[in-house]
Amino acid sequence: MNEPRNYFVTGGSRGLGEGIVLEAIASGSDVAFAYRSNKSAADDVIRQAQELRPGARCQAYQLDVSDPDQVSEVADRVLEDFEDIGVLVNCAGVNRDNLVISMADDEWAQVIATNLSGPFYVIRAFLSNMLANRFGRIINISSIQHNGGSGQANYAASKAGLHGLTKTVAKEYGRKGITANVVVPGFFDTDMTRETMPQAAKDYWKKHCPMPKGRMGYTSEIAKTVTFLASPGGGFINGDVISVTGGLNWTT
Ligand SMILES: NC(=O)c1ccc[n+]([C@@H]2O[C@H](COP(=O)([O-])OP(=O)(O)OC[C@H]3O[C@@H](n4cnc5c(N)ncnc54)[C@H](OP(=O)(O)O)[C@@H]3O)[C@@H](O)[C@H]2O)c1
């Protein structure tokens, strides 16, 4: 059976996605990844990949995942360049917080389009290739806010929807050798949390997370969870939700 382990990672230029790209490179896979606009961050990831494993194939593609035409055009180019994609990681995500009563249409629409419609477009674009190989590992990055979070109706709805999408893909394509799972990160030090997470939420985390000193997660702890799901050892996990939260799953 042909089991290609090439990755395609959205949001691979920064934060958790960057960690996932580099861990996949370190574990011996070739990686195509997408970024929205920050080319210098994407170039830096490629430079790090070359340092980690000289000669490794790591290529960046500019893509707004909320645009279905761009997704299908970039997916075609990725498949031309890499031939097969066996592991698809939907990590790109945004938040634009507001209370429901004040939330503007574009705040709602951008977050749903990026965090939920984006993964749908990307999965749809790569499914034919995975079906042809009768192999695929689809890993969608959610959030502990998928059960609802004050000020995050758009974000919570997008992530809850991602769980439904993932479980459906698992049911539709599991028999064809394609698994789909959700990884739920807790609190990690990335641009997203640095720039937008309220101090009160950070303080709450530090006080209540049942980890030494209430620490945040390390990016590598998400990345290694993803590479495990993509590895042969992860092959019987399908339609599942893997929490990487240090035990503080405050919304469940
Ligand atoms: N950090 C946490 O503690 C945490 C907790 C729970 C869940 N998560 C989830 O984990 C994922 C990664 O979060 P992060 O903290 O690493 O975020 P981040 O540091 O803000 O990075 C976001 C990444 O997504 C890309 N991106 C944003 N909008 C995009 C679009 N429309 N099309 C394509 N790419 C787009 C960005 O590209 P550019 O660099 O070009 O802008 C960047 O690579 C997100 O889905 C987030 O919801 C994070």
Give the percent of the chain with pLDDT over 70: 98
**221 CB under 6 A from ligand 1?**
no
Active site residue 173: no
How far is it, in rounded angstroms, from Cα 172 to Cα 216?
35
Stronger pLDDT, 117 or 204, i.e. the higher one: 117
How far is it, in rounded angstroms, from Cα 170 to Cα 191?
31
Query: What is the 175 CA–ligand 1 centroid distance (Å)?
Result: 31
Q: What is the CATH number of domain 7-236?
A: 3.40.50.720
Catalytic entry in 155, 173, 204, 218? 155
Tell me the pLDDT tens digit for each residue of 184-242.
999 999 999 998 888 998 999 999 999 999 999 999 999 999 999 999 999 999 999 99
Per-residue pLDDT averaged across 29-41, rounded?
A: 98
Query: What is the 192 CA–ligand 1 centroid distance (Å)?
Result: 7
Which atom belonging to ligand 1 lies closest to the Cα atom of 90? Answer: 45
Per-residue DSSP letters for 133-149?
A: HT-EEEEEE--GGGG--
Query: What is the 210 CA–ligand 1 centroid distance (Å)?
Result: 25
Take atom 47 of ligand 1 and give the residue whose Cα is closest.
93
Please tell me the pTM assigned to this model.
0.97
Is the Cβ–Cβ distance between 9 and 34 less than 8 Å?
yes
